[in-house]
Amino acid sequence: MRQAAVLCVFYAFVLTLYSCSPAMDTQAHEEQYTANEKAGTHTDSTEKIMKMKTPSGATLFLEKAVTPAEREKGLMFRKSLKKDHGMLFFFDNDERKAFWMKNTLIPLDIIFLDENFTVAKVFSSVPASYEGAADKDISVVAYWGRYVLELPAGTSEGYGIEFGRQLHQIK
């Protein structure tokens, strides 16, 4: 009974956060993203790329999500993501962060990193959501970290990204 009450409060909190964010027109956003991708141009600052070296020695090309708007949008509405591409979310503190897969159309590995880019937690193959999914059916992961890295599902293991391993920024 207590667990059910806690889940109800959690989902109410998530719904409150979602309802406070600006409404997004899914089709318009998807069309704009597709047009930008085909033209090779992007107008928002999430397209700033950062290179990181994985424990296996591979190079990742990561879009930076720095502002609240960039972090909120994340990888939503994307239909694909190259194996060596992802997004790195920047935060000002090491507090607990929750990532909700609403409007995220591709499954992801979600990796929580400390201030030194050392892996604190890996959530492998977090399922994508689908249009019209009930909020209760959408995956949520949460942990503590300064940075959060999102990669295509199943790729973190091949790159040696596991607890205690460190990623290095390439300048």
pLDDT digits (tens, 9 = 90+) for 66-120: 999 999 999 999 999 999 999 999 999 999 999 999 999 999 999 999 999 999 9
Look at residue 86 and give its three-state secondary structure.
strand
Of the listed ranges 19-28, 52-61, 107-116, the one predicted with least confidence: 19-28
pTM of structure: 0.74
Select from 91, 87, 147 the least CA-distant residue to 121. 147
**Mean pLDDT in the chain?**
80
Q: Which residue bears the tokens 């790195």?
A: 88
pLDDT surpasses 80 at 45? no
Select from 79, 76, 86, 105 the least CA-distant residue to 147. 86
pLDDT digits (tens, 9 = 90+) for 118-136: 999 999 999 999 888 899 9
Residue type, 88: L
Report, as an integer, the average pLDDT of 43-72: 87
Split at pLDDT 50, 70, 90, the class of 40 is: very low
Do strands 59-65 and 49-53 pair parallel, antiparallel, or not at all (unpaired)? antiparallel
Query: Is pLDDT larger for residue 24 or for residue 61?
Result: 61
Per-residue pLDDT at 138: 94
Per-residue pLDDT at 9: 38
On whether the 44-170 domain is CATH 2.60.120.1140, my answer is yes
pLDDT surpasses 90 at 36? no
Per-residue pLDDT at 24: 36
